[in-house]
Amino acid sequence: MLSDRGFFGPAQYERFVLYLVVGVLLLALVAACYVFVIRYSRTRSPRPAVAGAARVDLGTLRGKYAAMIDEVEAAWVAGDLSERAVHSRLSLLLRFFAFEASGVDAQVMTLSDLRSSALPSVTGAVEQFYPPAFQLEHPGDPAAAVRTAREVVSSWS
């Protein structure tokens, strides 16, 4: 039988501190991965309005987004934007308009998130823009999309 010299702690092994530091860092990395996945995979919900938050001048905001819609239309007429790009940009513009007008994070919501939000006019327009934005052939009517976007912006209350 081998002679038993007792228990030897890990501190006397070569490079113990290095292995300890690497092990702790790996555990911290695993914990950070869990936190990241949990934090960024949640369904986004609208932020509640903050009391005392600055009110937006809706007239100025409408003018700003009407001008941006005009720019998209002008780029399409000039041939700088494809029909698909028109629908994609208008969808994005309406999402940012809703965010600035209401504070709801519409610019980062999926279509199903938009459907469960309190933004029916934006949701309806984005639903119209989705198929044309992703179809390869015959994506849709950009003139109708521009009219829809203008209608959403002008009828916002």
114 & 78 share domain? yes
Cα-trace Rg, the chain:
27
Task: Compute CA distances 129 → 26, 85, 90, whole Å.
Answer: 45, 10, 8
What mean pLDDT, rounded, does the chain reach?
A: 84
Whether the pTM exceeds 0.75: the reply is no
CA neighbor of 140 nearest in space, from 73, 85, 68: 85
Tell me how far apart the alpha carbons of residues 28 and 41 are, in angstroms, rounded to a whole number: 20
Assess whether pLDDT exceeds 60 at residue 107: yes
Q: List the one residue out of 156, 22, 38, 49 whose CA is nearest residue 105.
A: 49
pLDDT of residue 4: 64
| Residue 94 confidence class, pLDDT cut points 50, 70, 90 | very high
Please list, residue by residue across 56-95, b when 16 or more beta carbons sit within 10 angstroms of its beta carbon and e when fewer do: eeeeeebeebeebbeebbeebeeeebebbbbbbbbbbbbb
Domain carrying residue 20: 11-40
Residues 95 and 123 reside in one and the same domain:
yes
Q: Are residues 34 and 105 in the same domain?
A: no
At 30, give phi and psi (nearest 5°): -65, -45
Flag whether 95 is in a domain: yes
Is 139 inside any structural domain?
Answer: yes
Distance CA 109, CA 94 (A): 12
DSSP 137: S
Q: Give the span between the Cα atoms of 49 and 55, in whole angstroms.
A: 10
The Cα 23–Cα 132 span in angstroms is: 51
Whether the predicted pLDDT of 67 surpasses 90: yes
* Total structural domains within the chain: 2
